[in-house]
Structure 1
Amino acid sequence: MSHHHDNENNFRLHTPAFDSLNKRLDRRNFLTKTSLGIGALALGSLLGKNGASGKIASSATASNAAIDDVISALPHFAPKAKRVIYLFMSGGPSQIETFDYKPALVERYGQDLPGSVRQGQRLTAMSANQSKFPMVPSRYKFNQHGKNGTWVSELLPHTAKVIDELCIIKSLHTEHINHDPAITFFQTGNQLPGRPSIGSWLSYGLGTDNQNLPSFIVLVSKNAPKDQPLYTRLWGNGFLPSEYQGVEFRAGKDPVLYLNNPDGYDGTDRDEMLDYLTRLNKLQNSAYGDPEVDARIAQYEMAYRMQTSVPDVMSVVDEPDEVFDLYGPDSRDPGTYAANCLLARKLLEKDVKFVQLYHQGWDHHGGLPAGMENQCRQTDQSTAALITDLKRRGLLEDTLVIWGGEFGRTVYSQGQLTPTNYGRDHHPRCFTMWMAGAGVKAGFSYGETDEFSYNIVKDPVHVHDFQATLLHLMGVDHERLTYKFQGRRFRLTDTHGNVVKDILT
């Protein structure tokens, strides 16, 4: 932004309303301002200079000295990953049709799942009234791939080709059996809305490496079935300053809403307007000491810079045909999952720290074969292409890629079972995810389930363990990245979570 020669004092002389505002500081505001200042100085003297060599989170919110000192201690140790792409398969993909091969189920087709296996598990409303729970094996063939002979479904032929890059975790589990609490829990560490998302925590703690783009960007597939809703709070900032929320990039001429200049404005007008708006916000902040005003200033400044950076990063005119062939035909259609995978790679090249893709449509209570075939057709090639593309560009070695949903699916069929059609209900007791890239073992499988893919028999990994491990790979101790809100210090993993050290390099 340009800076005009009018100084702030001259500006204030022409704004009597703000002069009056400054004079009307009541006792509460005075104590708030002065106590914050004294408290920051006191905490700063206690903290001293320890750990001050780390990166300070970017933004105007860094005005509070105490927050500066705490954040400057990050990263807590050398990170393995500098950036993350999280491919979230919303709805809960079936582990039985993808990675958790259970050949013994073939002989149990149609048999009732033994009560000793189900152990009185809480069921969803969709299958709670069933009198029988007929088991159904996957109708898809599995084959061994890679150096370690990893079993992969025929639905994922492209993923099978990059299997030696993946660290497959078959023993994820969660407490939540319905979509909204389960996905909220995965993204924020709590089933109730209002907590910061993973990307927001990382943005707050580690700052940004690119001043012209948000550090946390979200992409939602336009070509996915909308079987379950997605809420913007899933990438929200919760109680963190609002500048740390995820920014959704959309398909179309306006990738970010309200970013373009209104009709009748040119660049000079916009620059001047934002300059004066910044002055007004600074006056308000000096009067009330509200840190959210700093966040507002930072967001306006970022939006101004994004007016040139976003069109640049969204353009794919320089991508050769070979790249589109790699990601698949959908990659030429902006907003599709394939196009978003390609865009995610471009964002990483611009030093965006956390990119999250959401692809809905994995909630297969009925018509699972047709549904799974469609979902895998839309995502398999471009997911594998992303791994291949990152590796050949030298980005995979310091990028963490994650794939998975909020829970798995049951071994028994929900509703009517036929030889060619079946469905599976939600299953929180065990499901599969994978990671690839920086800091995790490649060509490695971790955790085991029983012969029914119903219970975990070895190396369970809770959602909080997954979150703790993700933060660890980014150089963050999950127990130390906290934020005080309403008198309590919160963290992503709440009071739980252990780093899964066995999957780390």
Structure 2
Amino acid sequence: MRDDALFRPSIGRREMLRTSALGLGALGLVDLLGARDVLAGPSAAGADAGDLAPRAPHFPGKAKRVVHFFLNGGPSHVDTFDPKPALDRYDGKPIPLDLTTERKTGAAFASPFKFRRYGESGLEVSELFARTAEHVDDIAVIRSMVAQVPNHEPSLMLMNCGDSVLPRPSVGAWVLYGLGTENQNLPGFVAMCPSGYPVKDAENWASAFLPGAYQGTFVDPQFADVDKLIENIRSPHASREAQRRQLDLLRRLASDHRRERPDARLDARIQSFETAFRMQMEAADAFDVNREPQPVREMYGDSVHGRQTLIARRLLERGVRYVQLWHGAGQSWDDHSNLAVNHRKLAGEVDGPIAALLTDLKRLGMLDDTLVIWGGEFGRTPTVELDGSGKSSLGRDHNHYGFTVWMAGGGVKGGTVHGATDEFGFKAVEDPVSVHDLHATILHLLGFDHERLTYRYAGRDFRLTDVHGKVVRPILA
């Protein structure tokens, strides 16, 4: 429950099971119909928006919406936002620490990238994110993140869903469940991942036991043409006028049917058709970056990640609650070898778009109530990884003992650093922040007490933070 009667789900067990697996497809008509079936209860009561109607949080939150840059594979914190001069001094030498790593590692591996101070805060950032660093006075860097295990799949689930073992609702699903959406003509939670995604990754934007209306709608932004980007956005068989007549006829037939055989699901089905009909026009507009002025498009860049970041801003501007932008779906940040080359390439793809978004949100007056999040599922080791023959691979192994995540806007105290890893960057030693703490902080910025945002399932009240989590108050404005 969400702490009041309005937050009680009005969907039966069978209906939840029938619909919770749907909705991950395209934004067009066919997939939307299944996802919107969860509106049965509220729709029958006369609330057209159903479970997705906008709602007030527990208290006034600074943030109204979220955009999450998720760097799949684990970016190296000691090469991006956590400088370690000790690695330069010990480069090629054993580190005087007891390191437990997943794979065999050797001597200290100095960062191949230069750090320098930016902004009035003087916060140090790697050359990899030099353009993002121009906004450092709006950014709060958490350098003491800790995860649970050094493996990708469980750490992905932990960061995105709050549990490393069992599939649970994603952060975006919880946010949509709590706040609803401000635009009934667009999905409230969108996950963009270029070049498709493995089936196993879909759980990272799923709703799990929450009603299916709250799960993320997946979009592959590799296409620039809107008709390819959004499947079924236009009917190849009927004009809008013909579709309107079809829907009117369908509503009359449903009304006749309902008089003898009342079924709340029938109202939900009709409403889903209506929503899909409205969406054909608004989604085409929202996802079409060509409607932006040329200088804005040039600022983001004509690349997959530039376009998807600009689309994210257009979605947030139109009332979408949560947008997650995946990076590293093809070539991930999992650089066990040749880190210098690969990290430079990957950072070059997203540094400009991230900086453009921060600039654009400020220009539009949206940064103050938009929470921007950056990070991966864990970090990398300060020691070099060794190949099968015991030679240096010039890469780093997984490291869940200490890594970095940063946030900006939406009530965050910019130009701040919270926590620290040891002098080499292996383990969080000052003010460690768990993933549950991070989630509690995100919900707090949106106006929620993470202990009160719950959903009853299988005989107990579940929450995003499980039975853990403390708000990281030093980074709050």
TM-score, structure 1 normalization = 0.77
Seen in structure 2, the aligned counterparts of structure 1 residues 449 and 290 have a Cα distance that, compared at 3 Å, is: farther
AA matched with 2:145: L
Does residue 254 (structure 1) correspond to residue 228 (structure 2)? The answer is yes
Q: Which residue of 1 aligns with 2:162?
A: 189
1:171 Cα offset (Å): 0.7
Seen in structure 2, the aligned counterparts of structure 1 residues 284 and 362 have a Cα distance that, compared at 3 Å, is: farther
Indicate conservation of the 8 Å contact 1:243/1:299, yes or no: no
Seen in structure 2, the aligned counterparts of structure 1 residues 64 and 280 have a Cα distance that, compared at 3 Å, is: closer
Does residue 471 (structure 1) correspond to residue 443 (structure 2)? The answer is yes
1:221 Cα offset (Å): 3.0
**Number of matched residues?**
428
1:260 Cα offset (Å): 3.4
1:375 Cα offset (Å): 0.6
Name the SS for the 1:434 alignment partner: strand
1:111 Cα offset (Å): 2.3
Seen in structure 2, the aligned counterparts of structure 1 residues 139 and 319 have a Cα distance that, compared at 3 Å, is: same
Does residue 347 (structure 1) correspond to residue 328 (structure 2)? The answer is no
Indicate conservation of the 8 Å contact 1:243/1:296, yes or no: no
State how far apart, in whole Å, the 1-side matches of 2:470 and 2:271 are: 35
Does residue 356 (structure 1) correspond to residue 337 (structure 2)? The answer is no
1:89 Cα offset (Å): 0.7
State how far apart, in whole Å, the 1-side matches of 2:412 and 2:240 are: 46
Name the SS for the 2:386 alignment partner: coil
State how far apart, in whole Å, the 2-side matches of 1:295 and 1:202 are: 22
Which structure has more relative contact order (CA 8 Å, sep 6+)? It is 2
Q: Which residue of 1 aligns with 2:213?
A: 243
Indicate conservation of the 8 Å contact 1:447/1:458, yes or no: yes
Moved more, 159-168 or 312-321: 312-321
Q: 1:106 aligns with which of 66, 69, 88?
A: 88
AA matched with 1:338: G
AA matched with 1:156: F
Indicate conservation of the 8 Å contact 2:157/2:167, yes or no: no
Name the SS for the 2:120 alignment partner: coil
1:298 Cα offset (Å): 4.9
Q: Which has the larger radius of gyration?
A: 1
Seen in structure 2, the aligned counterparts of structure 1 residues 64 and 455 have a Cα distance that, compared at 3 Å, is: farther
1:297-446 → structure 2 map (5 Å cutoff): 298-330=271-303, 336-360=304-328, 361-416=332-387, 422-446=394-418
AA matched with 1:324: R
Q: Which residue of 2 aligns with 1:62?
A: 42
Does residue 93 (structure 1) correspond to residue 75 (structure 2)? The answer is yes
Residue deviations 1:50-89 (CA, integer Å, cap 9, x gap): xxxxxxxx95543698x999x9984100010011111111
1:109 Cα offset (Å): 1.7
State how far apart, in whole Å, the 2-side matches of 1:165 and 1:260 are: 41
Q: 1:265 aligns with which of 238, 252, 257?
A: 238
Moved more, 159-168 or 73-82: 73-82
Residue deviations 1:253-308 (CA, integer Å, cap 9, x gap): 233334432x43333453455566677699799979787x7765554433222111
State how far apart, in whole Å, the 2-side matches of 1:112 and 1:86 are: 37
Moved more, 464-473 or 73-82: 73-82
State how far apart, in whole Å, the 2-side matches of 1:201 and 1:285 are: 36
1:164 Cα offset (Å): 1.1
Name the SS for the 2:98 alignment partner: helix
Name the SS for the 2:382 alignment partner: strand
Residue deviations 1:123-153 (CA, integer Å, cap 9, x gap): 43xx1xx3x5222110111111111211111
State how far apart, in whole Å, the 2-side matches of 1:427 and 1:285 are: 62
1:156 Cα offset (Å): 1.5
Name the SS for the 1:117 alignment partner: coil
State how far apart, in whole Å, the 1-side matches of 2:435 and 2:181 are: 26
AA matched with 2:42: A
Q: Which residue of 1 aligns with 2:181?
A: 208
Percent identity reads 41
AA matched with 2:90: R
Seen in structure 2, the aligned counterparts of structure 1 residues 286 and 344 have a Cα distance that, compared at 3 Å, is: farther
State how far apart, in whole Å, the 2-side matches of 1:112 and 1:296 are: 65
Indicate conservation of the 8 Å contact 1:468/1:499, yes or no: yes
1:445 Cα offset (Å): 0.8
Does residue 81 (structure 1) correspond to residue 63 (structure 2)? The answer is yes
State how far apart, in whole Å, the 2-side matches of 1:461 and 1:349 are: 31
AA matched with 1:322: P
Indicate conservation of the 8 Å contact 2:44/2:264, yes or no: no
Structure 1 stretches of 5 or more lacking a match? 1-31, 34-57, 331-335
